[in-house]
Amino acid sequence: MITVKTYKGHIRNWESLCGELGIDTSLSREDREKEILVKAYEAWGADMANHMHGMFAFALWDDSEDRLFCLRDQFGTTPFYYYETADGKLLYGSSIRAIMKQPGFVKELNEEMLQLYLSLTYVAGESTFFKGLFKLMPGRYLIWQDGRLKIERYWAPEFHPDESKSLEAWADEIHTTLQKIIPEVKTAGEKADSFLSGGVDSSYVLAMSDVEMTDSCGYDEERFDESGLAKLTADVLGRKNSRCLITPEAYFAEVPYVMYYMEQPLADASAIVFSLGCKATAEHAKICYSGEGADEFFGGYNMYRNAERYGENLKTFYVGNTNIMKEDEKRKILKNYDPDVLPIEVAEKIYEDMEGLDPLSKMSAVDIQIWLEGDIYLNVDKMSTAAGLEIRMPLTDTRIFDIASRMPSKYKVNGEQNKVAFRTAAAKVLPEEIAFRKKLGFIVPIRIWMADDRYNQDVRAKFKSDMAAKFFKLDEINAIFEEYIGGNSDNWRKIWTIYTFLVWYELYFVKNGL
Give the CATH number, domain containing residue 410: 3.40.50.620
Query: Which tens digit of pLDDT belongs to each residue from 138-172?
Result: 999 999 999 999 999 999 999 999 999 999 999 99
Phi, psi of 213 (to 5 degrees): -115, 130
Q: Are residues 107 and 194 in the same domain?
A: no
What average pLDDT score do residues 269-273 get?
96
Would strands 213-218 and 193-195 be described as parallel, antiparallel, or unpaired? parallel
What average pLDDT score do residues 407-411 get?
97
Q: How far apart, in whole angstroms, are the C-alpha atoms of residue 196 and residue 233?
A: 9
Q: Are residues 477 and 372 in the same domain?
A: no
pTM summary value: 0.96
Is 161 within a domain?
no
Single-letter amino acid code for the residue at 71? L
Reference 226, options 238, 243, 212; nearest CA is: 243
Pick the last residue of a domain from 153, 183, 218: 153
Query: Which tens digit of pLDDT belongs to each residue from 283-314?
Result: 999 999 999 999 999 999 989 999 999 988 99
Pick the last residue of a domain from 153, 180, 212: 153
Q: Are residues 75 and 204 in the same domain?
A: no
Is 388 within a domain?
yes
SS3 130: strand
Is 162 within a domain?
no
Reference 267, options 450, 107, 400; nearest CA is: 450
Q: Are residues 120 and 218 in the same domain?
A: no
Is 144 within a domain?
yes
**Which structural domain, as residue segments, surrounds residue 86?**
2-153
Query: Which tens digit of pLDDT belongs to each residue from 10-55?
Result: 999 999 999 999 999 999 999 999 999 999 999 999 999 999 999 9
Query: Which tens digit of pLDDT belongs to each residue from 351-389?
Result: 999 999 999 999 999 999 999 999 999 999 999 999 999
Q: Which residue has the higher pLDDT, 330 or 442?
A: 330
Q: Are residues 459 and 425 in the same domain?
A: no
- Which value, to the nearest 10 degrees, does the dihedral of the CA atoms of residues 276, 277, 278, 282 take? 100
Q: Are residues 431 and 464 in the same domain?
A: no
Give the torsion sign (CA, 486, 490, 492, 495). negative
Q: Are residues 115 and 209 in the same domain?
A: no
Q: How far apart, in whole angstroms, are the C-alpha atoms of residue 75 and residue 372?
A: 8
pLDDT higher than 60, residue 513: no
Q: Are residues 243 and 358 in the same domain?
A: yes
Query: Which tens digit of pLDDT belongs to each residue from 490-504?
Result: 899 999 999 999 999
Reference 13, options 510, 394, 463; nearest CA is: 394
Q: Across-strand partners of 193?
A: 288
Q: Are residues 149 and 171 in the same domain?
A: no
Q: Are residues 390 and 470 in the same domain?
A: no
Is 182 within a domain?
yes
Pick the last residue of a domain from 108, 124, 153: 153
The pLDDT confidence band at residue 423, using thresholds 50, 70 and 90, is very high
How many domains, in total, are found in the chain? 3
Is 31 within a domain?
yes
Q: Are residues 285 and 372 in the same domain?
A: yes
Q: How far apart, in whole angstroms, are the C-alpha atoms of residue 68 and residue 155?
A: 20
User: In the prediction, which pLDDT does 223 show?
Assistant: 80
| Cβ–Cβ < 8 Å for 219, 246 | yes
Q: Are residues 115 and 233 in the same domain?
A: no
The pLDDT confidence band at residue 347, using thresholds 50, 70 and 90, is very high
What average pLDDT score do residues 415-424 get?
94
- Residue 128 neighbours by CB distance under 10 Å: 18
pLDDT higher than 80, residue 512: no
Residue 53 sits in a domain whose CATH number is: 3.60.20.10
pLDDT higher than 60, residue 514: no
Is 382 within a domain?
yes
User: In the prediction, which pLDDT does 198 show?
Assistant: 85
Is 126 within a domain?
yes
pLDDT higher than 70, residue 485: yes
User: In the prediction, which pLDDT does 442 show?
Assistant: 58
